Chains A and B, each alone.
Chain A
């Protein structure tokens, strides 16, 4: 395994950087073999901001991806992007994420910490390559579970309907929301005949996903009484 060349920044990094090596820093989801899939608590989900079928090795990782889907600043993310060797041990961070002006590597652990002998070389290594590095705890993500479930629900509705065009319905819905005040989901969607108004429902989800409309994401699942607001 070849060492990635790098320029050292400080004495701490000097000692630690040599402990990290990788084949490639081009982020790509690391393949999951069948034995791995059987052994892990694996979740698979098609996402909109990741081109591949995403495999997550824990429920908090799935929640993290769902929150990225709902984050307008995030343009793309890749689960398990690199395979590194840290002090001779294999290490795969949880998610690589690209925001408007920054790239970040996020690892998820139970308590939000990594051992110093891993964290310090990794932080120096990623900083050296212009990547942010952060460790998040499962607990912090589970605290936002309702919000993540909200985005997961929208995501599932959108991934299988990418071929459907809803520009007209989106415009009509947008106009309708502008003319009304104190709108609820029941005001704009008709649950009596959902087959006929399916495209309108889809348009509503798309406007939520694009942050043109907003509902309180902690109110999961959506009900007919959920208030809808315009994003300005």
Chain B
């Protein structure tokens, strides 16, 4: 039964109080509708409060019928259905599906054509089904399908009407366009509906629901930072800025608390397994703030990552680690470290389904809001108006790499101390602290952070000795001969041994028999001892040798020369920075290791490194010295 607005109020008197109506936040409405909505709300509120309609209409310079229609729109309707209420106050809001009640017009008795097309679909047998079949065959690529255009679709519509023997004096034959516009809109709507993403049904294959405890699930991903940086290079007394290729950022974020657990900036556009392992190692080492050199940039008080909060936070056991299926994530070392060393569950999601890792994708989105403020940004897409113009690309950007890194660090750490509504107005860091203090967050053994490093690997190799050369036994590792006192045993030649190496510095290897007996250390030749270098650098040099036939008696120095020669290329200059930083970082680590007391049993690799002559810090001017 249809109720008028007065009958509805009589039936449901509680609706006389507009405060009882569903709440709608006016700020969510488009600006063009907001003013009308607020005006309608005031008019209806006053009318419901008991003011005469005429008086209300006068206050708003409207006709009383406008107020009456508005009340009808909000309250009238079928007695069994709930009235639109607040929705009715929104100007232009479509409240019900249009349906034609009057019969269709004829040539002799025209009646207008409102909703006539929908009426035709309902009454002409086979019309809707025929049109739907046509649209479906054009949407799904089928051999018998056709690419539909509005004209051909309209022609098919008329053909179906003729086949249904529709009277030629009825709509659409009463219109000059023969309902062309209606068929065109119908075609577009139906196509869009088919292309629209289907509503997500909770799949039985779906990932588990959000877990409440911190560290129960973390998501990791990487992204190329949307801004290019620069670096200053002093060469032969001249200082010149260099444009760098974009760097990558690797992030780990906790799902339950939204806390960013760690970040690593990789000086490449293609992060490797080493970068990912560095990020995982960072979760279990105390975070230290960067020394900020950019004027005006400061860490907010209390900002940081959880690992800075204390030793227990560095031993937090991770439940599930969600990664996408990038090749670096599938590396055996990564899987071994996550599953065997940390005991975590590794989840490699389905390809092309980033929404299962929405938390980490959202973190990158948050960061991009800030990064896109730099003038050297690449923007969100190739035609982003904020993208750095081509004319600026020939020069190095004003933004230095150091500033970019500092800005990213400040933004990410500040995120952790900002209260969030969905976390009960607690900050992510507060929530992690609360859970650590009051819950049974699983922990790793107390000896964990010291006893484990993800950078150690081992291989089984054969000890070689070529009699004709008269040289001591050696093993081949990454195309370089390693030898040393550990291989001096006479019976070792031809045997297999296990070598253990640190990916960050491969100048020295530890050698073990397959039975586990430690034999000692072996070293790379002098030509490879000049600077500390990682396995990645060695591979780059070897690749360069293969690709360009490059030979040098000083491979590391030669590689620097090569990078300096091509420093105008952003990728090469970024590689130059990477190699330089690698050398600096490892040199510092070696120095720290030298201060620690040497242990007798284990091969004290850091200590052994310190016994070698101290390597001077590399500077580009060294190239000149060698020449």
Binding site for B on A (CB under 8 A): 34, 37-46, 53, 58-60, 62, 110, 138-139, 142, 145, 149, 152-153, 155-157, 159-161, 164, 185, 189, 191, 194-195, 198, 201, 221-224
C-alpha spacing A39/B353, complex, angstroms? 11
Q: Which residue of chain B has its CB nearest to the CB of A54?
A: B339
Is there contact, CB below 8 Å, between A42 and B311? Answer: no
Chain B residues with CB under 8 Å of A58's CB are 205
Residues A221 and B208 in contact in the complex (CB < 8 Å), given A44-B346, A152-B319, A194-B312: no
Residues A152 and B345 in contact in the complex (CB < 8 Å), given A41-B350, A59-B207, A191-B440: yes
> Is B457's beta carbon under 8 Å from chain A?
no
Residues A221 and B439 in contact in the complex (CB < 8 Å), given A37-B330, A42-B348, A153-B319: yes
Is there contact, CB below 8 Å, between A223 and B345? Answer: no
Among the 9-residue stretches B166-174, B280-288, B442-450, B493-501, the one with 4 or more Cβ atoms under 8 Å from chain A is: B442-450
| Top-10 shortest CB links A-B | A160-B343, A138-B204, A38-B325, A44-B346, A159-B343, A156-B343, A45-B345, A42-B348, A46-B339, A41-B350
9 A-B residue pairings within 8 Å (CB atoms): A45-B345, A59-B207, A152-B319, A156-B344, A164-B445, A195-B312, A195-B315, A198-B443, A224-B439
C-alpha spacing A185/B438, complex, angstroms? 12
Chain A residues with CB under 8 Å of B66's CB are none
C-alpha spacing A164/B338, complex, angstroms? 20
Chain B residues with CB under 8 Å of A153's CB are 319, 442
Distance in Å: Cβ of A128 to nearest Cβ of chain B: 32
* B334-373 vs A, Cβ < 8 Å mask (1 yes, 0 no): 0110111111111111110000000000000000000000
> Is B267's beta carbon under 8 Å from chain A?
no
Distance in Å: Cβ of A214 to nearest Cβ of chain B: 16
Is there contact, CB below 8 Å, between A53 and B335? Answer: yes
Is there contact, CB below 8 Å, between A160 and B341? Answer: yes
Chain A residues with CB under 8 Å of B206's CB are 59
C-alpha spacing A201/B441, complex, angstroms? 11
Chain A residues with CB under 8 Å of B211's CB are 149, 221
> Is B587's beta carbon under 8 Å from chain A?
no
Chain B residues with CB under 8 Å of A189's CB are 440
Residues A44 and B440 in contact in the complex (CB < 8 Å), given A160-B343, A195-B311: no
Is there contact, CB below 8 Å, between B325 and A37? Answer: yes
Residues A139 and B204 in contact in the complex (CB < 8 Å), given A41-B349, A46-B340, A221-B213: yes
C-alpha spacing A194/B330, complex, angstroms? 34
C-alpha spacing A125/B213, complex, angstroms? 45
> Is B216's beta carbon under 8 Å from chain A?
yes
How many residues of B sit at the interface, in one of the four size bands? 35 or more
C-alpha spacing A194/B335, complex, angstroms? 28
Distance in Å: Cβ of B150 to nearest Cβ of chain A: 40
Distance in Å: Cβ of B221 to nearest Cβ of chain A: 15
Is there contact, CB below 8 Å, between A43 and B345? Answer: yes
Chain A residues with CB under 8 Å of B311's CB are 195
C-alpha spacing A160/B206, complex, angstroms? 28
Distance in Å: Cβ of A36 to nearest Cβ of chain B: 11
C-alpha spacing A198/B442, complex, angstroms? 10
Distance in Å: Cβ of A184 to nearest Cβ of chain B: 11
Chain A residues with CB under 8 Å of B204's CB are 60, 110, 138-139, 142
Is there contact, CB below 8 Å, between B343 and A59? Answer: no
Residues A59 and B205 in contact in the complex (CB < 8 Å), given A44-B346, A221-B213: yes
Is there contact, CB below 8 Å, between A223 and B439? Answer: yes
Distance in Å: Cβ of B388 to nearest Cβ of chain A: 34
C-alpha spacing A149/B212, complex, angstroms? 12
Residues A44 and B445 in contact in the complex (CB < 8 Å), given A195-B312, A221-B440, A223-B440: no
Distance in Å: Cβ of A119 to nearest Cβ of chain B: 20
Binding site for A on B (CB under 8 A): 204-208, 211-213, 216, 311-312, 315, 317, 319, 325, 327, 330, 335-336, 338-351, 437-440, 442-446
C-alpha spacing A141/B591, complex, angstroms? 54
Name B346's contact: one of A41, A45, A149, A164 (CB within 8 Å): A45
C-alpha spacing A44/B331, complex, angstroms? 13
Which residue, B206, B212, B340, B345, has most C-beta atoms of chain A within 10 A?
Answer: B345
C-alpha spacing A223/B444, complex, angstroms? 18
Chain B residues with CB under 8 Å of A37's CB are 325, 330, 348
Chain B residues with CB under 8 Å of A145's CB are 208
Residues A59 and B213 in contact in the complex (CB < 8 Å), given A189-B440, A191-B438, A198-B443: no
Distance in Å: Cβ of A212 to nearest Cβ of chain B: 19
Chain A residues with CB under 8 Å of B444's CB are 160
Q: Which residue of chain A has its CB nearest to the CB of B320?
A: A43
Q: Which residue of chain A has its CB nearest to the CB of B326?
A: A38
Is there contact, CB below 8 Å, between A185 and B440? Answer: yes
Chain B residues with CB under 8 Å of A34's CB are 327, 330
Is there contact, CB below 8 Å, between B442 and A157? Answer: yes
Residues A46 and B445 in contact in the complex (CB < 8 Å), given A39-B351, A195-B312: no
Distance in Å: Cβ of A210 to nearest Cβ of chain B: 18
Residues A221 and B216 in contact in the complex (CB < 8 Å), given A43-B346, A156-B317, A195-B312: yes
Chain A residues with CB under 8 Å of B446's CB are 195, 198
C-alpha spacing A222/B213, complex, angstroms? 10
Distance in Å: Cβ of A198 to nearest Cβ of chain B: 6
C-alpha spacing A53/B347, complex, angstroms? 13
Is there contact, CB below 8 Å, between A53 and B345? Answer: no
Distance in Å: Cβ of A57 to nearest Cβ of chain B: 10
Chain A residues with CB under 8 Å of B340's CB are 46, 53, 159
Distance in Å: Cβ of A88 to nearest Cβ of chain B: 26
Chain A residues with CB under 8 Å of B344's CB are 156
Name A149's contact: one of B208, B312, B442 (CB within 8 Å): B208
Is there contact, CB below 8 Å, between A38 and B348? Answer: yes
Contacts A41-B349, A58-B205, A222-B440 known; 6 new A-B pairs at CB < 8 A = A42-B347, A44-B335, A44-B339, A153-B319, A185-B440, A201-B443
Chain B residues with CB under 8 Å of A149's CB are 208, 211
Q: Which residue of chain B has its CB nearest to the CB of A46?
A: B339
Distance in Å: Cβ of B173 to nearest Cβ of chain A: 52
C-alpha spacing A112/B211, complex, angstroms? 27
Is there contact, CB below 8 Å, between B438 and A224? Answer: yes
Name A156's contact: one of B319, B349, B439 (CB within 8 Å): B319
Q: Which residue of chain A has its CB nearest to the CB of B442?
A: A157
C-alpha spacing A34/B212, complex, angstroms? 32
Q: Which residue of chain B has its CB nearest to the CB of A63?
A: B208
C-alpha spacing A222/B438, complex, angstroms? 11
Is there contact, CB below 8 Å, between B343 and A221? Answer: no
C-alpha spacing A45/B211, complex, angstroms? 18
C-alpha spacing A161/B207, complex, angstroms? 27
Chain B residues with CB under 8 Å of A155's CB are 343
C-alpha spacing A159/B205, complex, angstroms? 26
Q: Which residue of chain A has its CB nearest to the CB of B348?
A: A42
C-alpha spacing A160/B445, complex, angstroms? 8
C-alpha spacing A152/B295, complex, angstroms? 49
C-alpha spacing A158/B444, complex, angstroms? 10
Distance in Å: Cβ of A60 to nearest Cβ of chain B: 7
Is there contact, CB below 8 Å, between A224 and B445? Answer: no
Chain B residues with CB under 8 Å of A139's CB are 204
Which residue, B315, B319, B343, has most C-beta atoms of chain A within 10 A?
Answer: B343
C-alpha spacing A59/B217, complex, angstroms? 14
Distance in Å: Cβ of B119 to nearest Cβ of chain A: 42
Is there contact, CB below 8 Å, between B205 and A41? Answer: yes
Which residue, A59, A161, A224, has most C-beta atoms of chain B within 10 A?
Answer: A59
Name A157's contact: one of B317, B336, B437 (CB within 8 Å): B317
C-alpha spacing A138/B204, complex, angstroms? 6
Chain A residues with CB under 8 Å of B440's CB are 185, 189, 191, 201, 221-224
Q: Which residue of chain B has its CB nearest to the CB of A39?
A: B351
Chain B residues with CB under 8 Å of A138's CB are 204-205
